[in-house]
Amino acid sequence: MLPALPQNHIARPSLQRQLDTALAGRCILVAAPAGSGKTTAVCSWAQALPYSFGWISLDENDNDPAQFWAYVFAALENALPDGLQLPQFHLDTLLPPTRTLLAYLINALADYPHPVVLFLDDLHQINNTAVFSDLAYLIENQPEALKIVLLTRADPPLPLARLRGPGLLGEIRGKDLRFTLEEIKTLFNRTLNLNLAPKDLSALEQRTEGWAIGLQMAALSLQTQPDPGAFITAFSGSHDYILEYLTDEVLKGLSPVHRQFLLTTSILDQLTGPLCDAVLGRFGSSAVLEELRRGNLFISSMENQRSWYRRHQLFSDLLQNLMKTELPPDQILEAHRRESSWFEQNRFPDLAINHSLKAGDFQWTADLVAREADNMMQHGRGAALLRWLEALPENILQANQRLVYQKCWALSLNGRHKEAEDLLLKLRSDLSAQSEDPEIELCGDIAALLTGICTFSNDTERILEEGQAALAVLAPERSMLRARVLIALGTALAYRGELQHAARTYGQARDLALDAENPFLTAAAIELLAGIQIYHTGELQKAALQLETILQLEKSLGPAAAFAGTSHLLLAEISLERNELEAAEAQLKKGMKLIQQGGIAYSRTHASCLQARLCLARGDFIGAQKVMREADQAAQETPLLHIQVHNLSFRIATAIRIGDTCAASKRLSTFDINL
């Protein structure tokens, strides 16, 4: 939601014209130091925009990709008119990959006739590379209707240089946000009626360098100064010194009750009456918050109803520093405990966990994480889960074996497969040592997770061993987990050359995935089965019939069905086998578009090999060689053996077709089967 403007806000037409000009590009980057007035300036401009917009104020807890994108989709859903629907992005429901949802968004806005503006405020609070990777994907594939405004203290890790070149990036920097002498005169003399002399206004400009927060604090202090000129003459030093000095001046005038309120509640990122009541252990906070807002004490309402408030970040930082020096440590920890309890009772589990960690109440943290971990694992929120689990002391973690397993899952989701495997093996050993009858469900989960991890090292014997152990103990109703295990088993069998057995296993995985109503697992199983039928057994008609199931799922899910990209590539392979080049090219183009939109990295190798094969069929040997170089690059990004072998076979076939048998022989002799 759009933050409220401060009471002493003044219009800045020159800055607003700069923002209007910047909107002609794809993105606006508003990057400037803290306290520069980024949010206020852009809020004022946004209120005058004739377009729909969504505003998100970010904080450190939004580094979880699922939560970040849930906020983005919710903001855009509210901004768009009735009739233009986006997928419902809820953290407690099973979601397709983020790239798939972004592809849906891009397609939904492709023909929308009016600009829609997305504001991401305090983007510097985000440090998760996965969030920036997906944000870069959205920006690079941005539909014309969508405009994105980024407000941050530092340049984000996004492809800014590529956007600057063609003029797609508008930039507002610290120098653009500085208040001019005329704007300072308007603020102090016309809005606040302080009637400062020209020399005092000039001194303020020089000493603050037009710095917004410094001017705001000076204005607040000057309203109670008997000699404004003397105050301004003594007003000097670095920005940090000025800020601390003026904050001290402001706090001096507060009643003890208000001062205690501000210090104790400084642990809160956002404030609302009931939450402050819980932290303070008394009632009446809603009235205090409104008094502070009316007093312009750097607290502003976040919505028209004035139930939630936020402080200026620098004022909040200073209050927190004062809190550490003025309040006893046990009182601060107790405030965090109360805050955590309030968030837990009001169904904000992420915030409850964050503040239980700050309180140092690790057992309470472990209990909260244990309640949420299964749901988070099912929906891919491994980054936040791993951050919490790694913050727990080892003795607390080891006391809960289910939490140890959940940490292994989170490690695996974050690509740390070796760490996950080592910890899983230790957990299994501990389970066996402590009891003759270990928890069967947990044993099955461990074996299932190990099965998946083993596929990344191409260890077929271990895949088969762990997969069979998992199936032996996994309950029949756990269809989705059994389907994952069967897909891994089918891959191991295919690596061993047991193609018929692998095909039957993929078929079982397909049936379980359909039963679990999981289109992504269904597509994976069918595509692997169709691959055997196309490349090994020559059953083209059977493969086409299998792939028809995915095409039906694609129709039902619409633009969100990027998972069907590989299926179109396989249909292109079938058309090539039948020498139907035009049909093959059409399927190839559709497949490549879907895998690009969905971010399906492992399919890029397949797409490039197929494109090279189409070039060869048309006699374009140079084009085939160029495309195979792209296939090589894509193959380096995945350790999966069947991807490596697929790339190798097409690389050799291309070399032989163009008459370079030496290159084919060298490539074959240097291939490492143990990749």
Give 217-237 pLDDT, tens digit per residue: 788 778 777 888 887 877 654
624 phi/psi in degrees, rounded to 5: -65, -40
Degrees to nearest 5, angle at CA 153 with 150 and 158: 50
Q: What's the Cα-to-Cα distance from 166 to each of 109, 119, 172, rounded to whole Å?
A: 22, 22, 17
Q: 451-483, pLDDT tens digit by residue?
A: 988 888 778 898 999 999 899 988 888 898 899
Q: 148-181, pLDDT tens digit by residue?
A: 999 998 889 998 888 887 888 999 998 899 999 9
Which pLDDT belongs to residue 305?
A: 56
At residue 325, the 3 state secondary structure works out as helix
User: 301 pLDDT exceeds 60?
Assistant: yes
310-319 average pLDDT score: 77
pLDDT band at residue 123 under the 50/70/90 scheme = very high
Of the candidates 35, 46, 39, 470, the one whose C-alpha atom is nearest the C-alpha of residue 210 is 35
At residue 27, the 3 state secondary structure works out as strand
The residue assigned the tokens 């969905």 is 598
Q: 510-558, pLDDT tens digit by residue?
A: 999 998 888 888 888 999 999 899 988 889 999 999 999 888 888 877 6
User: 94 pLDDT exceeds 60?
Assistant: no
644-661 average pLDDT score: 74
Contact 140, 172 (CB under 8 A): no
Please, what's the b/e burial string for 114-140 (b: 16 or more CB within 10 A of its CB; e: otherwise)?
ebbbbbbbbbbbbebeebbebbbbbbe
Which pLDDT belongs to residue 675?
A: 44
Contact 114, 52 (CB under 8 A): yes
pTM: 0.71
82-103 average pLDDT score: 65
Which pLDDT belongs to residue 53?
A: 92
pLDDT band at residue 239 under the 50/70/90 scheme = very low
Which pLDDT belongs to residue 238?
A: 44
Instruction: Report the run of H or E that residue 411 belongs to, with start and end.
Output: helix 401-413
What is the chain's alpha carbon radius of gyration, rounded to the nearest angstrom?
30
Which pLDDT belongs to residue 420?
A: 92
Number of helices (H), then strands (E), in the chain: 35, 8
Degrees to nearest 5, angle at CA 512 with 506 and 516: 140
* Across 59-68, 155-164, 240-249, least confident range: 240-249
pLDDT band at residue 96 under the 50/70/90 scheme = low
Instruction: Report the run of H or E that residue 152 belongs to, with start and end.
Output: strand 146-152
